[in-house]
Structures are given as structure tokens and as C-alpha cells.
Amino acid sequence: MTAGFVEVADRVYVRREPLLRVNVTLVVGADEALLVDTLSSAAQAAELRDAVRAVTDRPLTVVNTHHHYDHCFGNAVLAGDPPRPVYAHALAAAALREQPERLRREAYEELRHDHPALAAELAATPLLAPTHTVHTEAEIDLGGRPVLLRHPGHGHTDADLVVHVPDADVLVAGDLVEQSGPPAFEDSYPLQWPDAVADLLRLTTAGTVVVPGHGDPVDVDFVRAQHAELVRLAWLIRAAHTGSAPPERVAAEAPFGARAALVAANRGYLELDGTA
């Protein structure tokens, strides 16, 4: 049975895909509804579409928080027929438009051992590039309900968007904030990530519900604690690089666990060397 949405604030609903614990957020306005992220495959997206329609029949506008497969490969099902607007950061839109086969190949390689069925679904899923691009900010009016899209800077990727619903005090953070596991650093900018999280924190209040990319919704204290860990990680990377220490030195001391920290250290060294 398809898992449905849970209302986390007034007319703001979150649905968690169980395999990878990816969050999808639905914001319902008087005229339209906004769907944040579309999952990994046509099959997942079809289930998501049914779950959306159990909540609202309003026309959809889609937002991709970034261009990783688990957040946007379902675009064609949710916004292809009939055509609907899909918003993303300009760099995420360009990646999906210009390099779809690279993105598909990388996603397949990531999934094929641990999740072969999803890898096969993904390999057969048509990709739809975003139709509307955001550089710094954009606002969407859902019918008397404005929603802000903001790029807070480089972090999890170079193309992250957060979605702020001010009248409900909800912030959809994408993979800039993670609850069900450590942040993913493979395409990241770990030295800039703390600044991106600081930027998104400026959109919050003491009572803000923050929807992470994966896992349970969290409060602002959780985000502040993760920000502090990202600050410490960035400091360790800079110090180790200055001392010509190997990235493994960072992994031995950093938060988030040795495996994630080693990936972060290698990415941070590329930043400091000017090659990221």
C-alpha cells in the first residue's frame, strides 16, 4: 500500500519514501499546489502522484531541491503530461538538460549492488529537465500563499534550493540538512556548506519545522547542531590541509563518521586546491 502524506503544518504535507527515506513535501494553496522533489523512478513517481491526488486535485508546480536522482528523476511523471512548471537552480537544470545520461549512469552505478530493482527502474525512466531556473531567489504564488525558493550557496551541491513556506513556518532544506544519516559529501563543498546552512537558518524562527532531505522533520536546534558540526569539519579540513596532513587525518577526528568525513576531506582539499 502506498504510504500517504502527513500534515506537518497548515496545508503542508510530507511523505517519506521508505527505501532511501527521501522526503517529498506538498504545499497546497487556493489555486495550485507545490510539490518539492519527485523521487528516483517512474514507478516511485506514479505512486507519489496517487498520494498527491489523495490530498489535492489542484494543478501542480514542481521544485527540485537539486539534481541528484532521488530528488528529480520522477519529474516526467509528475510534470510531463500535462506539462507543468518545474523549478530548479540553474546549474541543476543545466545538468538534467545537458547531461542526463551521465546522471543516469552515475545513479545506476550507485544503486545496482544494494538496490538492483530500483537501479533497473531508474535505468528505464525518462528524464525531464526543469523548465524554470532560479539563481538566487524566486517566489511562487499558489493563490494567496507565497512560497520562497532560495539558493543559499554551495553546500551539498553547487545547485541546492531550499523552499520556505512563511505562513506555515516550514522550511524544506533538501539535502543541506540530513536526519536519517550523515550528510552526503560526494558532490559537496564542505568548506562553504556551513555558510549555506547559516543562510537558511536566517529564514527560521524558534518554531520552524525543517524538512530534511532524508529522515524525520526536525527543529531549528537540530539544524544549529548540524551547522556546528559542519563548521568543525570545515575547520579540521583547513587545518589538515595547511599542515599537509593526509585526508585520513581529518576522517579520524571529524564528526559524521570516518567514511563520510574522508569523502568530505577529499572534497575540501579539492576546494582549497582550486579544482573542485
Is residue 1 situated within a structural domain?
no
Looking at the domain assignment, is residue 84 inside a domain?
A: yes
Yes or no: say if 4 and 54 are a contact pair by the CB < 8 Å rule.
Answer: yes
This prediction's pTM:
0.96
**Residue 185, CB-side half-sphere exposure with 13 Å CA sphere:** 29
Report d(CA 113, CA 200) in Å as an integer.
35
The range of the structural domain enclosing residue 158 comes to: 6-272
Q: How far is the C-alpha of 20 from the C-alpha of 16, rounded, in Å?
A: 9
Q: Please name the residue that has the C-alpha cell 526543469.
A: 130
Render pLDDT for 64-118 as a digit per residue (tens, 0 to 9).
999 999 999 999 999 999 999 999 999 999 999 999 999 999 999 999 999 999 9
Question: What per-residue confidence (pLDDT) applies to 3?
Answer: 62
Q: Is residue 251 part of a domain?
A: yes
Q: What is the CATH number of the domain that holds 121?
A: 3.60.15.10
Nearest CA among 187, 220, 230 for reference residue 92:
187
For 41, the grid coordinates are: 523512478
Q: Per the domain annotation, does 124 fall within a domain?
A: yes
Q: What domain count does the chain have?
A: 1
**Predicted confidence (pLDDT) per residue in 115-152, tens digit:** 999 999 999 999 999 999 999 999 999 999 999 999 99
Judge whether 57 lies within some domain: yes
